Amino acid sequence: MSILHPFSGLAQSPGPESSRPDEVLIAEDDPISRRVLESWLRKWNYRVTALENGLDAWSVLQQQDAPQMVILDWMMPGLEGTELCRRVRSQQGGRYKYLLLLTAKGRKEDIVAGLEAGADDYLTKPFDVNELRARMRTGKRILDLQDALLRVQTELQFQSAHDHLTGLWNHGAITSLLQRETQRSSRMGHPLGVMMADLDHFKRINDSYGHQTGDAVLREAASRIVASVRNYDYVGRYGGEEFLIVLAECTTSDLIATAERMRVCLSGSPIETEVGPIPVTVSIGLAARDATAAVQLTGDDLLRVADMALYRAKTNGRNRVESAPEIQKASLSHAATHQ
Domain-by-domain residue ranges, the chain?
Answer: 23-159, 171-336
Task: With CA atoms as reference, report the closest residue to 322 among 239, 260, 266, 264.
Answer: 260
Per-residue pLDDT of the chain (339 residues; tens, 9 = 90+): 433 433 332 233 334 344 555 899 999 999 999 999 999 999 999 999 999 999 999 999 999 889 999 999 999 988 999 999 999 999 877 789 999 999 887 788 888 998 999 999 999 888 899 999 999 999 999 998 988 888 888 888 888 899 999 999 999 999 999 999 999 999 999 999 999 999 999 999 999 999 999 999 999 999 999 999 999 999 999 999 999 999 999 988 899 999 999 999 999 999 999 999 999 999 999 999 987 776 788 999 999 999 999 999 999 999 999 997 654 344 344 344 444
Query: For residue 21, what pLDDT is reported?
Result: 59
Residue-level pLDDT at 201 = 96
Burial degree of 267 (CB within 10 A; 0-12, 13-18, 19+) = middle
pLDDT at 17: 41
Q: What is the pLDDT of residue 228?
A: 96
Q: Are strands 69-73 and 23-27 parallel, antiparallel or unpaired?
A: parallel
User: 191 near 328, Cβ under 8 Å?
Assistant: no
The DSSP result for 162-208, as a single string, is B-TTT-SB-HHHHHHHHHHHHHHHHHHT--EEEEEEEETTHHHHHHH
Q: pLDDT at position 325, please?
A: 67
Cβ neighbours of residue 212 closer than 8 Å, sequence gap 6 or more: none
The set of catalytic residues is 241
| Distance from the first to the final alpha carbon of the chain | 32
CA separation, residue 211 to residues 18, 177, 205, 279, 287 (Å)? 41, 29, 8, 16, 31
Give the list of residues 6+ apart from residue 185 with CB closer than 8 angstroms, or none. Answer: 191, 192, 248, 289, 291
State the amino acid at position 32 in one-letter form.
I
* CATH architecture of structural domain 23-159: 3-Layer(aba) Sandwich (3.40)
Of 299, 192, 310, nearest in space to 252 by CA: 192
CA distance 112 to 255: 62
In CATH, the number for domain 171-336 is 3.30.70.270
Residue 13, pLDDT score? 34
How high is the pLDDT of residue 328? Answer: 37
